[in-house]
Amino acid sequence: MKCTADIDVRDVDESCINIDPIQVGGRLTADAMKAVIAYGDGYSVCDHCRKPFRLDYIKKPPIQQFHKDLAKFVNMDVVRVVPGARRGFQAVAGTYVQKGDPVLITALSHYTEVLAVEGNGGIPREIPANTDNIITAEAAAETIEKVTAEFGRSPVLLFLDHFDYQYGNEHDVRGIIRVARQHDIPVVYNGAYTVGIMEVDGKGLGADFVIGSGHKSMASPAPSGMLAATDERAAEVFRTTAARTDVTGRTFGIKEVEMMGCTLMGVTLVGMMASFPHVKERVKHWDEHLSRGRRVIESLERIVGTRIRSEMPRKHTLTRVDTLKSFDRIADTHKKKGFFFTSELKARGIAGIIPGATRVWKFNTYGLTAAQSDHLARAFLEIAEKYGLDIE
């Protein structure tokens, strides 16, 4: 089936149970799909844009209200929508990081945090993870001391992922933020894997900024995301232009420098807005998603030789699994090599794991129905059984 002469229809989520580690939280709701149909044209949310000509002031569709609701949703004061969490990192780094400034990230930080720091001439320094791949407050305190000694001043910013993209492990954000505040270091809470799938209380955690990803966890089209700030920080990161051009003397009203004026001006924003009521509701059911994921983990653990590399018990539906001593042993001698596993999953209607992967791989069960997670759990066992792997 084709969309156009050269573009295939994408029907992976209609045909299969998709467990791609980065895709599942961004799957659109029916309402978002409908909004996408109606608002696909370029500047589609701008029909009723009036003075002062800024996205977050538009009342029809209710973008202004959405901004207020979104801030409340993560218990912060001010929100702007941004084209992906990474653009939120960039805006914060652009505000606080100067050339040569030390900036704290963690050993499990997303690469876009590093790029945001680098883009502003900052020098990233990592808080190491412990042997369980957890970032602790103790490690943060030690790293702050070390970096302060190295640079003769405190780091100017700390990027902190609540759950990381590699293991889906939970890190001690509350403890780390407490330590950072003792040193007056502003903290960016990276909620790419939390905001939109579980409840997040930004000010309760003491964060200066909360960043979320629309396409990763808020059932929204890409690229979309949100940058929330406290009132104090909002005045800095959302500062408005003061420029006046020299020849024409033009000024640019209340456009925000770090936002480059307006941000999500069409289908991405309206998709986020359409999903938002469902997102607000679904975060209350995080435990159900977690429990379905745990059922799948239990199945995998029964396959002798399989190791869950993520922290246990699981606190997130994104999991890293090591099948070097189970499925990878089959791949060693199978004519399809690691692709045997992909084929077996595909035959059972399961997609989203990197093709050919049988060593260490990731998957995410978020959003599956109970029937789908049961099917997935069974499928792993069936494949193991078929190839003679021992099952406990």
- Residue from 9, 10, 30, 285 binding other proteins (CB under 8 A): 30
Query: 196 Cβ partners below 8 Å, 6+ apart?
Result: 25, 212, 213, 214, 216, 217, 218, 219, 279, 282, 283
Determine, following the binding rule CB under 8 A, whether residue 38 of this chain makes contact with other proteins. Answer: yes
- The residue type at 191: G
Residue nearer to other proteins on the CB measure, 84 or 221: 221
- Residue from 20, 27, 134, 254 binding other proteins (CB under 8 A): 27
Helices (H), the chain: 12-15, 30-38, 63-73, 85-96, 111-119, 137-151, 173-182, 202-205, 214-217, 231-237, 267-282, 286-302, 327-333, 339-347, 370-386
With tokens 């029809």, the residue in question is 60
Residue nearer to other proteins on the CB measure, 317 or 372: 372
Query: 277 Cβ partners below 8 Å, 6+ apart?
Result: 31
Residue nearer to other proteins on the CB measure, 206 or 349: 349
Determine, following the binding rule CB under 8 A, whether residue 251 of this chain makes contact with other proteins. Answer: no
Residue nearer to other proteins on the CB measure, 218 or 350: 350
Size of the residue set binding other proteins (CB under 8 A):
18
Residues 338-367 contacting other proteins, CB under 8 A: 348-350
- Residue from 65, 288, 369, 386 binding other proteins (CB under 8 A): 369
- Residue from 1, 5, 7, 37 binding other proteins (CB under 8 A): 37
Determine, following the binding rule CB under 8 A, whether residue 15 of this chain makes contact with other proteins. Answer: yes
Determine, following the binding rule CB under 8 A, whether residue 34 of this chain makes contact with other proteins. Answer: yes
Determine, following the binding rule CB under 8 A, whether residue 257 of this chain makes contact with other proteins. Answer: no
Q: Which stretch binds other proteins (CB under 8 A): 22-30, 71-79, 141-149, 299-307?
A: 22-30
CB of 167 to other proteins, least distance (A): 27
The encoded tokens of residue 33 equal: 């799909």
Determine, following the binding rule CB under 8 A, whether residue 14 of this chain makes contact with other proteins. Answer: yes
- The residue type at 310: S
Burial 84-105 (b: 16+ CB within 10 A, else e): bbbbbbbbbbebbbeeebbbbb
CB of 277 to other proteins, least distance (A): 15
Determine, following the binding rule CB under 8 A, whether residue 9 of this chain makes contact with other proteins. Answer: no
CB of 348 to other proteins, least distance (A): 7
CB of 316 to other proteins, least distance (A): 22
Residue of 354, 271, 351 lying closest to 11 (CA atoms): 351
Q: What share of the chain is helix, strand, coil (3-state, %, to 5)?
A: 40, 15, 45
Query: 136 Cβ partners below 8 Å, 6+ apart?
Result: 130, 171, 172, 175, 176
Determine, following the binding rule CB under 8 A, whether residue 16 of this chain makes contact with other proteins. Answer: yes
What phi and psi, each to the nearest 5 degrees, are found at residue 179? -65, -45
Contact set with other proteins (CB under 8 A): 13-17, 27, 29-30, 33-34, 37-38, 348-350, 369, 372, 375
